[in-house]
Amino acid sequence: MARLEQLVPQQQEPPLGSHLVTARRGYLHHGIYVGDGKVVHYAGLACGLHRGPVEEVALARFSRGRPVWVKSHSRSRFECREVIQRARSRVGEDCYRLLTNNCEHFCEWCLRGEHRSYQVEALLSRLGRLHAAVRFVAQPMSVLGRIGLRPTGAGPNA
C-alpha cells in the first residue's frame, strides 16, 4: 500500500522525478513529476471509461483540483534525470491495461525498473481471500445437496 508522506502545497513544485499520487473515486492515480509544472502519467481510465495513453500534462490537469501527495518508498534505482527520461521515453504508448499495465505499473518502472502495482496486488489478495471464504461457506451446502438434504425452508423448487 502506498505510504503518502508529503502533501504538495498548491503553487509549489514537487521534487523533480518524484512519484505523485492523487485520489480518484475508488483508487489512487499515479504520475512522475518532470518539472515546469508537468507530470507524465498513464492517462488510462483517468478521464472516464475511455482509456488513454502515456502523456505529459500540467500538474493541475493531473490533479483535477484534488490534493497531490509525494509517495514515499524505498529509494529510486535511478537518478532523477534518468527517472524523467524513462517517463518521457514512453509518452504516446497506448497499451493501458487496468490489471497489468496501469499508471502505478508505469511509475514503478520509471523509478525502479519494476513493473508492479501495489493497488492491483492488494485487490487480488482481497479477492483471493473472498473467494476462499465463499468456497468454505459453499462447501457444506454442496455436501448436503449431494446427500439429498436441503437447507431449512427450501422447497422442492428452491
Higher pLDDT, 28 or 4: 28
Contact 15, 59 (CB under 8 A): no
Q: What's the chain's average pLDDT? A: 82
Q: State yes or no: pLDDT of 154 exceeds 60.
A: no
Q: For cell 521534487, name the residue.
A: 15
**Residue 60: partners with Cβ closer than 8 Å, 6 or more residues away:** 37
Which band of pLDDT confidence, cut at 50, 70 and 90, is reported for residue 1? very low
Encode pLDDT of 27-59 as tens digits: 899 999 999 999 999 998 656 666 899 999 999
**What ranges do the domains of the chain cover?**
3-116, 117-149
Hey, what CATH class is 3-116 in? alpha beta
Looking up cell 515546469 gives 36
Query: Which of the pair, 62 or 119, is modelled with greater confidence?
Result: 62
Give the model confidence (pLDDT) of 132-151 as tens digits: 556 656 655 555 566 666 66
Predicted confidence at residue 143, as pLDDT, reads 55
According to DSSP H, which parts of 6-155 are helical?
A: 59-63, 80-89, 103-112, 118-146
